[in-house]
Amino acid sequence: MRKIILAIISAAFLTSAMAQNVLPKNLKVQFYKAYTSNSQELWKDGLRQLDAIYNSDQDVKWLLEITKAEFGLVGTCKGVGDKKTGKKYSDQAQKHAEELLRKNEDWSEAHALLGGLLGFQISYSPMKGMWLGPKSDQHIEKAIRLDEKNPAAWYQKGSSYYHTPGMFGGDIGKSVESFEQSVALYEQKAEALDYNWQYLDALVWLGQAYQKNDQLEKAKATYKKALRVEPEFGWVKNHLLPELDKKLD
């Protein structure tokens, strides 16, 4: 009986943590700026602050936020071509995602993160794709089964279809559908436009998927939508949209 009670308490604790994974406003803004400006230092400084908070109270919701920020930092490292730092934080984030799943194996957001992080590992070592690819997909599919309204899970599904070669299951049309679902789910949330770097990231990759699928006008509309959210988003403003406009001329 005592074990059952402890299990119920533990499950309630984790459910509460998953429902309350909201960053303090200052860190939310900082990570948003880190993403939109491709700043490793802003990511790292925010992670130091999160580590201090987590070390202080050991609330599992902070470990989730740490893992999400590490995922964002890895993306920035890939964007600027810093493989060494990216690999370091990818390994670290993977360990954190696995720790989250040890605390609760039915945590949708943790499965989505781990699926995406395994995808990063493949990008660093493509030969690992033979065994890490199916493992990544399993975590992403489980994330969706556990919570079909999890926008992060649909984002990872879209990313997997986008980056996987066609002979191994990649499908740009399905990538578009998955990114569309991710964006739609983010937009159902009140905080979608409130310094949410993950929403912007989903928009940008939806635009690129449209472009790769020869849906150029939809790609342009999506890039413009991203710029309405963040007018100074350099990746879109200075690179993606101008390059697309050249193709449309």
Domain boundaries, the chain: 25-148
- Each residue's pLDDT tens digit in the chain (249 positions)? 433 333 333 443 344 344 444 789 999 999 999 999 999 999 999 999 999 999 998 899 999 999 999 999 999 999 999 999 999 999 999 999 999 999 999 999 999 999 999 999 999 888 888 889 999 999 999 999 999 999 999 999 999 999 999 988 999 999 999 999 999 999 998 666 789 999 999 999 999 999 999 999 999 999 999 999 999 999 999 999 999 999 998
The residue with tokens 């987590």 is 54
Q: How far apart are CA 88 and CA 217, in angstroms?
A: 38
Radius of gyration of the chain (CA): 18
Find the Cα–Cα–Cα–Cα dihedral 169, 114, 201, 144, rounded to 10°. 70
141-to-160, 178, 247 alpha-carbon distances in Å: 11, 12, 35
- The predicted model scores a pTM of 0.90
Domain 25-148: give its CATH code.
1.25.40.10
Cα(242)–Cα(236) distance, integer angstroms? 8
Residue 147 corresponds to which tokens in the numbers above? Answer: 């919570």
Give the C-alpha separation, 33 to 183, whole Å.
20
Is 130 in contact with 90 (CB distance < 8 Å)?
no
Task: Kindly tell me the burial class for residue 9, based on how many C-beta atoms sit within 10 Å of its own C-beta (0-12, 13-18, 19 or more).
Answer: exposed
Q: What is the dihedral of CA 53, 58, 61, 65, to 10 degrees?
A: 40
Is residue 237 within 8 Å of residue 223, measured between CB atoms?
A: no
